[in-house]
Structures are given as structure tokens and as C-alpha cells.
Chain A
């Protein structure tokens, strides 16, 4: 009798727990588990979105890895951007945050100045940069030529197109600056005072006081930066289109990744395969590669340090 009561109590408790968890569980099932399983399923199917899917085995995987001419360049570009662009964004965001927390007057003005570009819509910002960095008519190259510095081809030169995109990303640093400023202002003042009493130099204060205190935020910035960069789509696409001279029109042809595939990124391939070529199977393969890559990067970053577990400390 008592055991029955106990069992039913446990069952009720389990149901209660499940009921409280259900909003998350439903969300997880609908927005994560189902799309993930579907993506894996469709990666083995020939599916054009119109006719019912048919089994094609590993054909899509073979095609993407061996025969799709854009895959490897896009993967290389994405990795380049993840490593270089994310590192520079974090360093630059931290640098700007440090500077603004140190200055005594005009903090508000500088904060606004650095934050404003972040609010610019990505398409408009990219088009503005394409105009500024136009090798022939852009003001940047005009100034460089005037002062005798050899002017790069920026978005028209395959070796300069990704650095140009990085410049654009650094210009929109406002989001990182804000979170770094919040973290920097949170560092206990007494720790700096103690370090100063011990004769620590400015660099040592930064290295042994500031950095350990803000490391969870750095980790957050790196992880979110990696994920955002994996999804980098709009800016390289617009930059390539504008620089190639092809805006849109009947008969005009856009070269994906102009110049010379240097601005191709993996999300562009997902779009190209799925929504332009009607090859959803191969698009799912690229999406899964993206997923796997982000998992690997995130897991690697989490192992490097206690990561976000420290954030709550």
C-alpha cells in the first residue's frame, strides 16, 4: 500500500518535472532534433523540393567532397575568416573597450562613435565599403596613392578580398566593445590596487588581473564570433556582387565568390545548392559540415579553458 503510494508519488513527480520541462522539450524537438534528423535524412536523398525524395546513398556526400568545385575554396575561406577575423575582432573589441574605460572625458561620445556602425544594416554597410574601397574610384585608394602607398585591389583582388571583409567586420565592432566594457568595469578595483602596491607594471596588471577576470567574456566573444562567422553570408555575397560589376539584370551572370572564389563561404553554398540548384540533398551535406565544424570548434574552445563554466564564478 505504502509502496503503491510511493510509486504513484514518484510518477506524479516525474510527470510534474516533465510538464515543467515541456516548453523546452517541445522547442528542442521542433527546432533542433527534428531539423537535425531531417538534415541527416535528406543528405542521403535525392530531393529537388518538388518531387518526392528518393534514396541516393552517399552520392550527395561524394559530390560535395569530390566534385562540387566551390566546396573546398569555401571551406578554406570560412576557416580563414574564423581564425583571422574572429581573433582580430576579439582583440580589437577588447582594445577599444580598454581605451574607452581608461579615458576620462568624452567616454559617451567615443562609445557612441564605436557603437553606431554596428547598427548599420549589413547590406548597406557592405555597399558603402565596396564604394570606399573601390580600387579605381574609391576615396581610400585615392588617399593612399596621394601619399605614395601602393593601393590594393581590395574586393577586386583575391588576395585582398578577405582582408577587406575583415576591415568591414572591425568597423562594426560595437557589439563586442559593449560587452568588453561591461566586463572590464566589473573587475574589482582592489585587485588593481593590490597589484600596484606589489609593483606590477601596466602590462602585468593587464596580464594577471584584467585577463583572468574577463576570460569568460573573452571565451563568450570567441565562441559566438566563431558561430557568427560560420554563418557569414550577406557581406561576402554583396561585396562580390558589387565588385564584379554584376548587380542584377537579365542576361548578366554573377560569378560566385568573386574574385576567383575568394569570397565564397559555406552558407552561400547551402543557398546555392538548395535554393538555386534545387539540390537539397547536397545542401544538407554542406549544412551538416557546418554543424560538425561548429561543434568541433566549440568543443575545442571549451576544452582550452574552463570556458563558460567560470562565467558564473
Chain B
């Protein structure tokens, strides 16, 4: 008996290391502070590159000049995970204002009350978000009528192409429809033994930015129906998107061969990115790629165009996927009025938005800034400004559990492109069920 007790005690002690400690406690506060008094607020953001942090500091300096009574402590390079924890715990060191790259988290932030609803602040300031921000950006910053975030510059996705390779292949202009794109991708592909001397396009979902949401945006899908249920199995746009990608995979060499080739390519954020090196002739990517590609000094001319559209939507050529950085005010903040002054300045002051955009080469996030004559850019960057301003451009809607539904769709994409799943219709239904179950769990 004592021996048994000893053994149980040992087993218990040995297992203690596995337990996670749960924390509780949450404070909430209203906006009762006086923003005209001397105060200090904390601002956490995710930018980390030296030129980016310098640009943020310049933005904040502009704000402090306009609001001499509000001092801002800036903390750079804050990941979403750190921000999540700080929003939960609050306290003096916690942020009053946050910014994050992950628009997919908006639904989580709004539904949980981690960030405050900014609608009353906008109303009080007499600013109408729907006429201030581009349509897609206006959509992805709110959830169920709760606007807990604001766009702070944006990202638009388009097509980069190797002009020199195009000329060599006898292609006069970038493809406008997916069928033209298929033809061009095949023309631009130069096989080399088990690999490629040049691949027209890397269609695999792991090809960095070639994710389901970026492809599907060109088909203008409706992710959820009126009741908030997944529309994956109902909207033909998804079937068309999955089918197109699979067709590209099969026509350009098959999944195994493409993945083998992909494993030899440079990483997305380094100078050896396959588009820079000429290993891939066309690349689906965000507006930041232009600067990165030019810095890598490639030995070809870079062309930029909107992504193709389905043949039956040719009139909508010019649209694209929009996402971006978001900013919000922590529910735990006791200085929400002062925090709002900062958020309002950073996201709605035209000059501030334009200067920030000029400094970090992101897409401006207000309609006024998009048209501003002070906006300085490479002529090719204009393509992305046009995509951002295009009323047909789409985004992925906010969901109560953040981007979980997108990960679930992406997972189906991986299974479908690799041939693990062959019955797409049944898989779409099953995935839609999974999305609904995940959302029910989060509610």
C-alpha cells in the first residue's frame, strides 16, 4: 500500500510539468479620460525593419507635434501572440493602441471585446468610415456591426511578371483572364530534366502568396450566407477556384514535381526569391514585392498587372485581394479618448497617411490619400493603388474565431492539390460543416 502511494505520488509529481496554468480576471473601462490634459499612452506595432520603425516614429512625431499634451511610448516588433496576451491582462505597461498585420483576427478582437467599438468615437468626431476608407478595407475592419479596428495602410495583391521572359516567349501583354494565364504559364515554362530551367508560375498553395484566399478573390466568392453559415459548398466561385488551381498544378508538371522544385527555391523574404532569380516567370504577390524585387537587382524588366479574372468576369479585370494592417484601442485602456486621438490621426489624417505610405511603400488606406498628389511612387505601384480603389476588389470577411475558416479551406486546398482528396464536391460539403462547427464552438 505505501508503495502504491509512493508510486502515485511520483507519477503525479512527474506529470506536474505538463499542466498549463489558467489565468482569469479581466477589467473593462470606459472612455472617461480627458484627452486635452497631459497624458502618456502606449502604442504597440508589428513593424520591425529599420526603415519601417523609422517611418512609424516619424508618424508618431507628427502626432505629438499636433497634440503636444499626449506623449506616445512606441513599442516595435510586437507579434500577434504578445498583443493578444497584453490585451487580456491590461495594466500600465499594456498597450492603449495596437496595430497588427493580421486582419483575420478582427472578428476575434471585436466579438471578445478585446478592442473597443470605435463607432461612437467616429460619430463623435463626425467622420464617416464608409466614405473615408475603400470599400474592402471598410469591411475587414468590422465584425457584426462592431467596428473595433481601423485600416492603417493596406496591402493589395496583383501579378508580377518577367517582361524579358514574356518577350522571349512572344507574349505581348500580361494575361487578363485565367485561360490566357494558363496558356502563358505553359508557354513560359522551360523544363530541365526533373525540374525547370524556368517555371511559368508556381501554382502550389505553398508557393508563398498563392493561398486559397488570394486566388479565390479573383472569383469574388461569398464566404458566408445570410445566416452566417459557410457558403463553401454552395457558391460556385469556390469550385471554380479550386478547379483552376488544380488544373494549373497538373498542367505545369504535377504536384510532386512542382513541390520538389519548390524545395530548391529561395525563401519569400530573402533576395533569392525565385521571381528575383528568374526561376519563376510570374508571381502572385503583394505591393511590397516591387521594392524587394528592385533591391535584388534582377537581370530582367519587372512588369506589374492586376491578377487575371475568370473568363466570364472579364469586365471586372482590375480587381484584386485587399488586406492590410489594422489599428485598435484596447478595452483595458484607461486613456481611450487620448488613444482615439492617436488612432484618428494615424488612420484618417490624409497627410499622415500619405507620408507613412511613402515611407514604407504600402497602399494608403483612405480614399483621400489614394488620390493625394503628395503620394510618391514608382509608376508600376499605381497598379496596386488602382486595385485598392477598385470597387470590385474583395477581402475575406471577419469571423468570430478569426481566420480559422481560412485555415480550414486552405487545408482542403493542400489535400486537393496533392491528390489526397479527389471528390471536390463532397470535400467542400465536409469542409463547410467543419467551418460551421468551429464557429459554433467559438460562440
Interface residues, chain A, with chain B CB atoms under 8 Å away: 31-32, 35-36, 38-39, 41-42, 48-53, 59-60, 63, 67, 69, 134-137, 153, 156, 223-224, 227, 230-231, 243-247, 249-253, 255-256, 260, 270, 274-280, 282-284, 287, 290-291, 294-295, 298-299, 302-303, 307-309
Contacts and interface: CB of A to CB of B under 8 A. Distances in A.
A32 B441 contact: no
Contacts of A32: 12, 16, 19
A244 B286 contact: no
B7 A299 contact: yes
Contact of B19 (A35, A41, A51, A256): A35
Contacts of B17: 227, 231
Interface residues of B, number: 72
Given A227-B18, A256-B407, A299-B11, 11 more contacts: A69-B408, A137-B263, A231-B18, A246-B206, A246-B208, A253-B406, A253-B410, A260-B418, A283-B20, A291-B18, A291-B19
A148 to B, nearest CB: 16
B20 A287 contact: yes
17 contacts: A39-B22, A48-B112, A50-B113, A67-B434, A136-B262, A153-B263, A247-B268, A252-B208, A256-B407, A275-B84, A277-B402, A277-B404, A278-B401, A278-B402, A280-B22, A303-B7, A308-B10
A69 B441 contact: no
A238 B381 CA distance: 34
A151 B264 CA distance: 14
A31 B8 CA distance: 18
B407 A253 contact: yes
Contacts of A307: 7, 10
A156 B263 contact: yes
A47 B347 CA distance: 32
Nearest to A137: B264
B317 interface: no
Interface string B143-158: 0000000000001010
Interface of B: 3, 6-8, 10-12, 14-24, 26, 81, 84-85, 87-88, 101-102, 108, 112-114, 155, 157, 206-209, 211, 213-214, 259-265, 267-269, 286, 323-325, 331, 401-404, 406-408, 410-411, 414-415, 418, 420, 434, 437-438, 441-442
Most chain-A CB neighbours within 10 Å: which of B19, B20, B101, B268?
B20
Contact of B286 (A50, A51, A67, A250): A250
A277 B439 CA distance: 11
B10 A287 contact: no
B268 A298 contact: no
A250 B363 CA distance: 14
B10 A298 contact: yes
B441 A67 contact: yes
Given A69-B434, A247-B267, A291 B15 contact: yes
A249 B268 CA distance: 9
Chain B CB count within 10 A is highest, among A36, A245, A255, A287, for A245
Contact of B441 (A227, A282, A290, A308): A282
B16 A298 contact: no
Given A67-B437, A246-B206, A250-B155, A287 B7 contact: no
B402 to A, nearest CB: 7
B407 A298 contact: no
Contacts of B441: 59-60, 63, 67, 279, 282
A129 to B, nearest CB: 15
Given A42-B22, A245-B208, A298-B15, A251 B323 contact: yes
A53 B410 CA distance: 31
A51 B26 contact: yes
Contacts of A303: 7
A131 B14 CA distance: 35
Nearest to B8: A299
B56 to A, nearest CB: 15
A278 B110 CA distance: 12
Contact of B22 (A38, A135, A227): A38
A230 B263 contact: no
A113 to B, nearest CB: 30
B323 A276 contact: no
A59 B441 CA distance: 8
A243 B8 CA distance: 41
Nearest to A284: B22
Contact of A51 (B102, B112, B403): B112
Contacts of B411: 69, 255
Q: Which of A39, A156, A277, A279 has the most CB of B within 10 A?
A: A277
B258 to A, nearest CB: 12
A32 B21 CA distance: 9
B15 A295 contact: yes
A8 B259 CA distance: 79
Nearest to A250: B101
B22 A277 contact: no
Contacts of B262: 136, 245
A230 B14 CA distance: 12
Contacts of A246: 206, 208, 268
B21 A278 contact: no
Contacts of B434: 67, 69
Contacts of B265: 136, 245
Nearest to B46: A250
A3 B1 CA distance: 33
Contact of A244 (B19, B206, B403, B437): B206
A294 B211 contact: no
Contact of B26 (A50, A153, A247, A277): A50
Contact of A156 (B209, B259, B402): B259
Contacts of A136: 260-265
A223 B14 contact: yes
Given A135-B263, A255-B414, A290 B18 contact: yes
Nearest to B420: A260
A278 B108 contact: yes
Contacts of B401: 277-279
Nearest to A230: B18
Contacts of B208: 245-246, 252
Q: Which 4 residue pairs across A and B have the least CB separation, nearest first? A: A136-B264, A136-B263, A50-B112, A298-B11
B21 A38 contact: yes
A302 B408 CA distance: 41
B20 A63 contact: no
Contacts of A308: 10
Contacts of A59: 441
Nearest to A282: B441
Contacts of B211: 251-253
Contacts of B323: 250-251
